[in-house]
Chains A and B, each alone.
Chain A
């Protein structure tokens, strides 16, 4: 079984929006989106000791290679990075087009995503990619099993647990409750350097540059402002008088 995992390289710590371009500042240190580590882990678990292949795919700046190398160090077999100035500033429509193009080159049996991107809080990409690939999609997977050319997913929704089945090839987005991602071993980190790593352009994905990146985007950021303040947020430390301080606060707010 061939499994493709889509991963994102996200800024570390608190993000910052660059006021000029109104894009997320991606110049600082970055890391593998931790929600995507769950998807990599699940792919490795599903592959097990079998013959399959796990390929990790990302769209991002050159430094996104760091996140793909981390996935390789965890145990993925091969990496593909779509890195192209033409892909920068992409929204959902443009990103899903390029990623679907990159995935179409792979013809994986199963495409996995993590539950969301920790920088943009987006939790939608898989459904757009599945639509473009014309494949079945299931999200919020808390358990995934593959058997006889079908994938069976137990997922958590607002109402409890659903069990959903789909034939392969399929697209599945896993929840961060599905597993505990492994840490790369030293051997894994050393081995990752020798694994196949391909960097491709937008045109390699079969998408015209006018449909990628900011040019192909259908949404835009118009302005940045301060959020409404949460009133007079207060913080107190120490246990000694904390209980009394809380009671005073609740009384002041007329909650008790």
Chain B
């Protein structure tokens, strides 16, 4: 079996999610990687160390912006040689995978959390109430994996690097990036925190984020936020957890006044232990919490912070 993995990078760093998928692909057979961008050849060795046998590199100034359609052109020239092409889900990867599916008339299964050696994909569906086995009727099999499904594994083996030159389709080059986002480098990243206390609309007002901050301090954790409160200007974007924003999997995730919309859920559902406090007994967050507390965050959280602090002293 041979698998090609689309390895994503940002600001010169290979993304952990795609390295995790690469590690998984390497357990199924020969795993190769494809890197697309401007000045990405220097990242190729890194992809090799994480399990790629061959790293295909499409390195060109015209590929600098992380836009999906030129990447479809690159992958379309390689995909036919593989049994499967894997992607770690992201805003960019989803668009590349779907464009490639249409280009090749190849089946795409998404939101997978695992795949077996005989290429049966595992997909939780309908708010994770059912686990669906999915398959492909043609090759290459295209798959998008849910964030955090696999951990990267460093093998330390040197990969063969091959250059790919691709003539881009005219319609693939029409989209241009006027301004590109860059990750903020300030402070410790919430992606590495063992404990995260996150706040949502249910906190009621921006100043109530102090509830989350004080509890986070007591628990030795970091503060996260939902897109809704970031959009409302209550908390900075760097703390946003969700589909757009950070994907986290801490040992403990405490959700304060968070309903659990899909946008948020995909960024935190692989946390080890989830505790949710929300006054709405029907909030979706309770469906994937280990401990759900139906109650008022303003009443409960100050007491909780005090009890945690007492316990420490």
Q: Which residues on A are within 8 Å of B, measured CB to CB?
A: 14-17, 91-93, 96-97, 116, 118-132, 134-140, 152, 155-167, 170, 175-177, 217-228, 230-239, 242-247, 249-251, 253, 255-256
Contacts and interface: CB of A to CB of B under 8 A. Distances in A.
Given A136-B174, A162-B177, A235 B286 contact: yes
Interface of B: 10, 66-69, 72, 90-92, 94-99, 101-103, 105-111, 120, 124-138, 144, 169, 171, 174-184, 195, 219, 227, 231, 237, 244-247, 251-252, 262-263, 273, 275, 277, 281, 286, 288-296, 299-301, 303-304, 306-308, 311-312
Contacts of B98: 92, 96, 124-128, 131
Contacts of A159: 10, 181-183
B102 A219 contact: no
B103 A14 contact: no
A158 B244 contact: yes
A11 to B, nearest CB: 10
Given A139-B91, A227-B124, A93 B175 contact: no
Contact of B175 (A92, A137, A231, A237): A137
Nearest to A128: B102
A177 to B, nearest CB: 5
A233 B287 CA distance: 9
Given A156-B244, A218-B105, A228-B131, 17 more contacts: A92-B98, A93-B106, A93-B107, A128-B99, A130-B69, A131-B99, A139-B68, A158-B244, A160-B182, A160-B184, A162-B180, A218-B101, A221-B132, A222-B120, A237-B281, A242-B304, A246-B275
Contacts, number: 269
Contacts of B311: 247, 251, 256
Q: Is the interface of A mostly helix, strand, loop or mixed?
A: mixed
A218 to B, nearest CB: 3
Contacts of B125: 17, 120-121
A256 B275 CA distance: 13
B14 to A, nearest CB: 14
B291 A124 contact: no
A245 B291 CA distance: 10
Given A160-B182, A164-B67, A247-B311, A218 B99 contact: no
Interface centre among B184, B219, B262 (most CB of A within 10 A): B262
A157 B131 contact: no
A83 B219 CA distance: 55
Contact of B136 (A218, A233, A235): A218
Nearest to B95: A127
B134 A231 contact: no
Nearest to B177: A164
B77 to A, nearest CB: 15
Contacts of B277: 242, 246
A225 B133 contact: yes
B126 A15 contact: yes
Contacts of B97: 124, 127
A139 B95 contact: yes
B181 A157 contact: yes
Nearest to B195: A255
A138 to B, nearest CB: 6
Nearest to A121: B111
Contacts of B183: 159-160
Contacts of B227: 156, 177
